[in-house]
Amino acid sequence: MTKTHWVMESPISSLSILFRNKLFMRLTCLIVITSFIRNGIFQIQSFFLNTIVGFDVKDFANLMLLGGVLALLGQGLLVKALVGCFKEKGVIIIALIASLMKTGGFAGAAFYPHKWVVFLSFIPGCIGDLTFPAISALKSMNVSEKEQGRLQGAIYGARSVFDAIGPIVFSSLYAAMTRQSLLSEALPYIVASCVYVVGIAVAVSLPVSKTPPSRSEVAVEPAPLPPPVSDETPALASVYFETDKDEVEKGDRVEYATSSVLDDDQLLSEPSLGANSSEV
């Protein structure tokens, strides 16, 4: 009797797509930097503005309104124009510079605690939010269609890890603040600004993005045909299983599980591209 088992890929090997070549490693580094800084700063921003600059409820409401309007304008009107003029690499550099201006302004607010400084430095934030979409788009342009899902999953997986690490680090920096030291009050934003400088250097080293070839120009390697099996032809929605060679009595054999055997609770597979093969 033949014993079959599922072939499952390791999650660690799935993340290896993020380090496929130098371009991908640099883009992954930018994902790490932006996720780490953005989420870390966000966690302490309200406390910083309240204790250091003296923001009240009305000031926070005005700041949130300004941020929403700027995000709407930036992502609704500026994205297409910036990509058309500067390509994805240019958008990444501009967005990182804008983020650097924002963190630099917040650091300056520790030494010069006036509310207008915060509002003024918040304006470039509408462009800084374009960093991650531009990085994701640049990576998607350099993989095949079959790897798009794996790539996006790996990107968001790496992003979520540093989304969790950022608040831990910056909360520690905030806890170390003292009223006697202005430098300690500005330290979280000074650290963020320094990291953004590193990110800008990495972004400048990226190769210039080229127009991706059309789908008709991309040579797609055909998938290998499955080895012949017994009298029954498997359905198009079949799933590949490995067989235990020690328990196969009559030579190597490939087993297929059709959609009638596996239900949705057992396996999440791709939908059929066509009708199932009819039995002869």
Residue 90, classified by CB atoms within 10 Å of its CB into exposed (0-12), middle (13-18) or buried (19+), is middle
Q: What is the pLDDT of residue 266?
A: 46
- Residue from 188, 183, 184 nearest 169 by CA: 188
pLDDT digits 0-9 by tens, 205-244:
887 655 554 444 444 444 454 554 444 444 433 344 444 4
Evaluate whether the domain defined by 15-204 bears CATH number 1.10.760.10: no
DSSP H helical segments within the chain, as ranges?
A: 11-14, 22-48, 57-73, 79-111, 115-122, 125-128, 131-140, 148-175, 182-204
Torsion angle in degrees (nearest 10) through CA of 132, 138, 142, 146: 50
Residues 6+ apart with CB under 8 A from 21: none
Question: Hey, what are 186's tokens?
Answer: 């500005």
Phi and psi at residue 174, in whole multiples of 5°? Answer: -65, -40
Q: Which two tokens stand for residue 96?
A: 């990182």
Return the domain boundaries, the chain. 15-204, 222-280
3-class DSSP assignment, residue 255: strand
Structure tokens at 80: 């297409």
* SS3 category, 239: strand
pLDDT band, very low/low/confident/very high, at 88 (cuts 50, 70, 90): confident
Q: Which of 76-90, 182-196, 226-240 has the least mean pLDDT?
A: 226-240
pTM over 0.85: no
